[in-house]
């Protein structure tokens, strides 16, 4: 591991996962460069929150990942890099694939090349996605009540592993997948110290969830505001969801273990224990709020998987990750945080302190 007196660079440091990661790093005493264009609505508030908590330990750089000179200036000073800035929504990528390409692929290449030419010792951990595995259309699924389950018993027990062939769907899948492969290849071709975390759905505090991305927070926000929720497809699609604190643990563990895990990609999600269908999540939210949720249905969206649950055994073993927060508890915590931020009262029990 490197770091020492050098600051840690977190691109997308004002975003949902980025701000939680920056908070943890600064809390551990690191100086952190939070590099973010603040293009996602609401994330400027995350940056203010970080600065109010950590003062001078946070060095904000409000700039685009495509600003090569400013990015390189930050990258060459860094003891380690966490690359989370990105165009994050499948829907947006379909509307403007060129912008998605330039942010996710070119932005990542600028960063890798700055490290290759001027700071090759700095580890880099990249935020990839389970979308690199495509829609899993070759697998058989059965409807089991209000969820889909895989027919294959091994997948049902453990989820989808890293051995699954890559199959990029949608411009977002292509751009994140290409960036994922560049990050791994810069370890192979140039000896950079890089690792990739292919994430399932991450949820938690500081998430500005919208219909396009961040669906757990989005469902909660709509339900808290008494607004209807649109389900695309039948709502039986299954996802493994992971609390952001557990995701941050994995990012830090990948950094600390970089000498062992360089050049590897890991699936990171809630795993089979935290697999839930959209309908199950809505039922839980209804229980938390003590009222029914108004739901409408629309057609499936492009690239939507009927099922994705990460097989997290490789990440657990290689990164030494501990127990994950149980999803019902994590969602209750997020409901409380969102309600408090809106000055709303909800009946959800106060969960144990973190
Ligand atoms: N949240 C999830 O469930 C999830 C799942 C899989 C992968 N990911 C990946 O994890 C990363 C972080 O996701 P998140 O949920 O925190 O999203 P987020 O939108 O909250 O964070 C992304 C941040 O990047 C910034 N950004 C966007 N375009 C930029 C640009 N051109 N230059 C500089 N900054 C820019 C945004 O302002 C935002 O603060 C993303 O790369 C995303 O693709 C997230």
pTM for this entry: 0.96
Ligand 1 binding pocket includes 127 (Cβ within 6 Å): yes
String of b and e for 82-107 (b: at least 16 CB within 10 Å)?
Answer: bbbbbbbbbebbeeebeebbbbbbeb
Average pLDDT over every residue of 301-310: 88
pLDDT tier at 303, thresholds 50, 70, 90: confident
45 CB contacts (<8 Å, ≥6 apart)? none
Query: Could you identify the atom of ligand 1 that is nearest to the CA of residue 176?
Result: 43
pLDDT tier at 13, thresholds 50, 70, 90: very high
Interval between CA 86 and ligand 1 midpoint (Å): 5
Average pLDDT over every residue of 37-58: 97
282 CB contacts (<8 Å, ≥6 apart)? 219, 223, 229, 231, 235, 293, 295
User: Comparing 13-17, 122-126, 253-257, 344-348, which segment has the lowest mean pLDDT?
Assistant: 344-348
- Distance between CA atoms of 109 and 178, rounded to whole angstroms? 10
User: Comparing 2-11, 85-94, 134-143, which segment has the lowest mean pLDDT?
Assistant: 2-11
Predicted pLDDT of residue 142 = 93
Inform me whether the pLDDT recorded for 11 exceeds 90: yes
**CB 258 within 8 Å of CB 123:** yes
Interval between CA 12 and ligand 1 midpoint (Å): 6
Ligand 1 binding pocket includes 84 (Cβ within 6 Å): yes
317 CB contacts (<8 Å, ≥6 apart)? none
Q: How far is CA 65 from CA 2, 11, 17, 46, 171, in A?
A: 23, 8, 17, 18, 18
Residue 214's H or E segment, with its range, is none
Q: Is 312 helix (H, G, I), strand (E, B) or coil?
A: coil
Inform me whether the pLDDT recorded for 353 exceeds 60: no
Average pLDDT over every residue of 220-247: 96
Ligand 1 binding pocket includes 124 (Cβ within 6 Å): no
User: β-pairing, 32-35 with 8-11?
Assistant: parallel
Ligand 1 binding pocket includes 17 (Cβ within 6 Å): yes
**CB 288 within 8 Å of CB 348:** yes
Inform me whether the pLDDT recorded for 17 exceeds 70: yes
- Distance between CA atoms of 194 and 81, rounded to whole angstroms? 9
Interval between CA 48 and ligand 1 midpoint (Å): 18
The count of residues in the chain is 354
**CB 11 within 8 Å of CB 35:** yes
Q: Catalytic residues, which ones?
A: 172
């Amino acid at each position: 591991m490197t770091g020492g007196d050098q600051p840690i660079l977190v691109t997308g440091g004002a975003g949902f996962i980025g701000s939680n990661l920056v908070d943890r790093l600064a809390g551990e005493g690191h100086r952190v460069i939070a590099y973010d264009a603040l293009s996602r609505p609401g994330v400027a508030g995350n940056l203010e929150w970080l600065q109010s908590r950590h003062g001078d330990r946070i060095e904000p750089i409000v700039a685009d990942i495509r600003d090569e000179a400013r990015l390189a200036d930050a990258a060459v000073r860094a003891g380690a890099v966490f690359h989370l800035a990105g165009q994050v929504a499948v829907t947006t990528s379909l509307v403007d694939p060129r912008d998605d390409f330039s942010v996710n692929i070119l932005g990542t290449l600028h960063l890798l090349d700055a490290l290759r030419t001027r700071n090759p010792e700095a580890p880099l951990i990249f935020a990839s996605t389970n979308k690199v595995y495509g829609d899993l259309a070759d697998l058989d699924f059965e409807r089991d009540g209000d969820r889909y389950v895989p027919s294959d018993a091994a997948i049902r027990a453990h989820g989808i592993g890293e051995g699954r062939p890559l199959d990029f769907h949608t411009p977002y899948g292509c751009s994140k997948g290409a960036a994922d492969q560049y990050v791994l290849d810069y370890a192979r071709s140039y000896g950079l110290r890089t690792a990739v975390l292919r994430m399932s759905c991450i949820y938690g505090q500081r998430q500005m969830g919208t219909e396009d991305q961040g669906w757990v927070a989005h469902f909660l926000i709509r339900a808290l505001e008494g607004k209807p929720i649109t389900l695309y497809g039948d709502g039986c699609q299954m996802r493994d969801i992971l609390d952001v604190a557990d995701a941050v643990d994995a990012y830090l563990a990948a950094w600390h273990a970089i000498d062992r895990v360089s050049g590897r990609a890991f699936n990171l999600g809630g795993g089979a224990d935290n697999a839930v269908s959209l309908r199950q999540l809505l039922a839980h939210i209804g229980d938390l709020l003590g009222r029914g949720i108004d739901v409408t249905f629309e057609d499936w969206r492009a690239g939507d998987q009927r099922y994705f649950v990460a097989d997290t055994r490789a990440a657990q073993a290689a990164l030494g990750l501990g127990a994950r927060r149980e999803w019902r508890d994590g969602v209750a915590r997020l409901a409380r945080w969102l309600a408090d931020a809106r000055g709303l009262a909800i009946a959800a029990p106060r969960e144990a302190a973190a």
